[in-house]
Structure formats: structure tokens, C-alpha cells
Amino acid sequence: MKGLSAKELGLISTLEFEKKYFFTTADIDAFVKNKTQRYNLIKNLVKKKRIVKLNKSKYFLIPIKAKTGGWSEHPLIVIDEMMNGKNYFVGGWAAANYWRLTDQIPFQYDVYTTKRQGQTTLFHARIVFHRTSKKRISQSTVKIIHNHSFRIARLSEMKTWIQLRE
């Protein structure tokens, strides 16, 4: 594990003290003088595995108490933060597991959105993005896990989905 500079340590400890584990580039601006310094600070912290990039302006802070840099966050919360809480819902086996329709632990989280396609891996969970319509997104439901809301496919839709898989 690489050491942290005074500026990096100050940023991490301030964010952790304020309990801002999900933060934006605007939260870093108080620690830097210009965009170049901000870019270099973020780049170095990503390289040292102290922050994880979620989208083009949002990051996740790995707390100081994670000595070796290994940390895990609930994938449904990470997905909600990645998508900024809108225009998405979680479906597939992850939703079936959430609704207790299967005991299978999901290793892949299917995210249906109007914006993205492709896949990424965060915290040892593969996240696959699928395109869908705004109408289908509006039919999803909002639930809460660990005091954080997220969007997931409705129970009735998942029961139908499971029956098609059997």
C-alpha cells in the first residue's frame, strides 16, 4: 500500500468525518487551487485505491479504517449512486433475490436505464446495463436498504420473469 500525502490525507479524513462516502468533484474543490490539481489528486487517490470512480463526477471513498484498501458496499446502493438516483431500475436475478424468489446469490446486477449500455465491475459485482424505455422505468418501485433508497422491478413483474425462466 502506498502512503498518502498530507493533502490526500486531509481530504480523506474530512470526507470521512462528514460521513460523505459518496462525493462529487465539487466536494474536492475546497482542497485544490485549480482543475489540474483536482485531476491529479483524484488520479492519485484512484491509483492508490482510496477512492473508486462511479461516474464522470461521482466517487466513493474507501474509509481510512480499511487499511489495505479493500472495502465493500452494498451493490444496490452503489448502483443508485452511479445513476444519481434516477432513470434506472434493477432487474434480473438481483431483483429476484431481493424479493426472495430465489436463494441464488447474484454475481451480476442487471440495471435497466435509458442512458447506458455495457458492463462494469465494482466491489466484485458485475453490473450490466441494458437499454429500456421511460415507461418501463416508471413502472418500477422504490425501496429502501440501509437508509438509502433505490429502484427495483416490481414483485409481480419478477414473478412473471421467474416463471419464464423455469
Grid coordinates of 162: 421467474
Q: Which residues of the chain have pLDDT under 70?
A: 1-2, 66-72
**Residues 127 and 109: beta-carbon distance below 8 Å:** yes
Query: Are β-strands 22-24 and 51-53 bridged in parallel, bridged antiparallel, or unpaired?
Result: unpaired
Going 91 to 94 to 97 to 102, the CA torsion angle's sign is: positive
Closest CA to 131 of 118, 113, 119: 113
Q: Rounded CA gap, 112 and 136, in Å? A: 9
According to the model, what pLDDT value does residue 98 have? 93
Asked if CATH classification 1.10.10 holds for the domain at 6-61, the reply, yes or no, is yes
Helix, strand, or coil here: 128?
Answer: strand
- Cα–Cα distances (Å) from 151 to 37, 113, 129, in that order, read 36, 11, 14
DSSP assignment letter at 151: E
Query: What predicted TM-score, i.e. pTM, was given to this entire model?
Result: 0.81
| pLDDT on residue 1 | 47
What is the model's pLDDT at position 72?
67
Angle, helices 35-47/6-17, rounded to nearest 10 degrees? 80
pLDDT of residue 69: 55
| Cβ(43)–Cβ(95) below 8 Å | no
pLDDT computed for residue 99 by the predictor: 94
Quickly count: other Cβ atoms within 10 Å of residue 152's Cβ: 23
Could you tell me the three cell numbers for 122?
465494482
**Per-residue DSSP letter, 63:** P
pLDDT at 50: 86
- Please list the residue range(s) of the chain that carry CATH number 1.10.10: 6-61
What Rg value do the Cα atoms of the chain yield, rounded? 18
